[in-house]
A and B are shown apart, each in its own frame.
Chain A
Amino acid sequence: MTIVTVVKQVPEAEARVRVVDGALDLAGVTFVLDGMDEYGVEQALRLREAGTASEVVVLGYGPRETERALRTALAMGADRAVLVVGDAFDDPLTVALALVEAVREAAAEMVFVGGKHADWDSAALGPALAEALGWPHVDWTTALRVEDGRFEAEHEIDDGSETLRGSLPVVITTQQGLAEPRYPTLPNIMKANRKPLEERSVEPRPKRSSARSYAALERQRRRVVIEGDARSAADELVRRLRDEAKVL
Chain B
Amino acid sequence: MILIVVEHAAGEPRRSALELVSVGRSLAQASGAPLAALVLAGAGTGGTGGALGAEAVAERMASFVPDVHVVEHEVLEPPRAETMTRALAHAATTLGASVLLLPASRLGLSCGPRVALRLGGSLLEDVTSVAFEDGAVVATRPAFLARVSVTVVAEAEPVVVSVELGAPPRASPLGGAGGVHRLEVPFEARDERLQSLSRRALAKERVALDEAEVVVCGGRGLGSAEAFERHVLRLAERLGAGVGATRAVVDVGWRSYAEQIGQTGTTVAPRLFVALGVSGAVQHVSGMNRSGVIVAVNTDADAPIFRISDYCVVGDVNEVVPALDEALAGIG
Contacts and interface: CB of A to CB of B under 8 A. Distances in A.
Interface of A: 10-11, 13-14, 17, 19, 24, 36, 91-93, 96-97, 115-116, 118-125, 127-128, 130-132, 136-140, 142, 152, 156-167, 175-177, 206-219, 221-227, 229-231, 233-235, 237-238, 240-242, 245, 247-248
Contacts of B112: 124, 127
Contacts of A210: 152-153, 155
A180 B326 CA distance: 42
B195 interface: yes
Contacts of A11: 144
Contacts of A132: 117
Contacts, number: 268
* Binding site secondary structure of chain B: mixed
B306 A223 contact: yes
28 contacts: A10-B144, A13-B145, A13-B283, A36-B264, A96-B113, A122-B126, A159-B9, A159-B201, A159-B208, A161-B199, A162-B78, A162-B196, A165-B194, A209-B122, A209-B153, A214-B148, A217-B147, A219-B289, A224-B310, A225-B314, A226-B312, A231-B327, A234-B323, A234-B324, A235-B323, A237-B324, A238-B331, A240-B311
A156 B116 contact: no
Interface residues of B, number: 93
B70 interface: no
Kindly name the residue among B85, B144, B258, B307 whose own CB sees the greatest number of chain A CB atoms within 10 A: B144
B95 interface: no
A96 B286 CA distance: 25
Nearest to A26: B144
A209 B122 CA distance: 6
A158 B105 contact: yes
A34 to B, nearest CB: 10
Closest 7 CB pairs of A and B: A234-B323, A230-B319, A128-B113, A124-B113, A208-B122, A131-B114, A222-B310
B75 interface: no
Contacts of A162: 78, 196, 198-200
A134 to B, nearest CB: 8
Given A119-B144, A230-B322, 4 more contacts: A132-B117, A159-B202, A217-B147, A238-B330
Nearest to B265: A176
Contacts of A227: 314-315
B109 interface: yes
Contacts of B123: 91-93, 124, 128, 208-209
Interface of B: 9, 78, 81-82, 85, 105-107, 109-114, 116-118, 121-126, 138, 141-156, 193-202, 208, 214, 247, 250, 257-258, 260, 263-264, 271-272, 281-283, 286, 289-290, 292-295, 301, 306-316, 319-320, 322-324, 326-328, 330-331
Given A14-B282, A227-B314, A208 B113 contact: no
Nearest to B286: A121
Contacts of A131: 85, 113-114, 117-118
